[in-house]
C-alpha cells in the first residue's frame, strides 16, 4: 500500500508544489520590497526638504529618490518575469492551488 498525503490534492505534483512555494516567496518579497521602496522615497523626500541650500545633501536626496523609483520599476519588472516564466513552464505561479484537507471516509 503506497503512502499518500491526504491533505494534498491527488493532481499535485512536485512542479506544482515548487511553483506554489515560488509564488508565496515572490508575493512576500514584493510586499516587503514595496514597503521598503515607499520608505526610501519618503526618506529621500524628507532629505530633500531638510537639505536647505546644501548641494551635497540635495544630491544625496535625489539619489535616494531615484533609487526608490528604480526599485519600484524593478518590482514591476519582476511581475513581468514571473508571468513569462509561467507561460513558458505552464505552471500557474501567481495563483497556486492551495491544498485542502478532505477527511478520509471510513
Task: Say how far apart CA 55 and CA 45 lie, in whole Å.
Answer: 15
Number of H helices, E strands in the chain: 2, 0
Q: Which pLDDT score is estimated for 1?
A: 67
pTM exceeding 0.75? no
Inter-residue contact 88 to 21 (CB < 8 Å): no
Containing structural domain, residue 75: 15-89
Assess if residue 74 is contained within a domain: yes
Mean pLDDT by 10 residues, the chain (106 residues): 62 65 83 92 93 91 93 89 83 65 65
Task: Say how far apart CA 16 and CA 22 lie, in whole Å.
Answer: 10
Q: Which pLDDT score is estimated for 14?
A: 66
Assess if residue 34 is contained within a domain: yes
Residues 6+ apart with CB under 8 A from 12: 97, 99
Assess if residue 48 is contained within a domain: yes
Count of structural domains within the chain: 1
Assess if residue 105 is contained within a domain: no
Inter-residue contact 5 to 95 (CB < 8 Å): no
Amino acid at each position: 500500500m503506497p503512502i499518500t498525503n491526504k491533505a494534498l490534492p491527488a493532481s499535485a505534483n512536485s512542479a506544482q508544489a515548487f511553483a506554489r512555494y515560488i509564488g508565496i516567496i515572490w508575493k512576500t518579497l514584493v510586499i516587503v520590497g514595496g514597503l521598503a521602496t515607499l520608505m526610501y522615497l519618503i526618506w529621500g523626500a524628507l532629505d530633500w526638504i531638510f537639505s536647505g541650500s546644501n548641494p551635497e545633501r540635495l544630491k544625496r536626496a535625489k539619489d535616494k529618490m531615484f533609487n526608490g523609483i528604480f526599485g519600484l520599476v524593478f518590482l514591476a519588472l519582476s511581475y513581468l518575469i514571473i508571468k513569462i516564466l509561467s507561460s513558458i513552464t505552464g505552471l500557474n505561479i501567481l495563483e497556486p492551488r492551495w491544498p485542502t484537507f478532505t477527511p478520509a471516509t471510513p
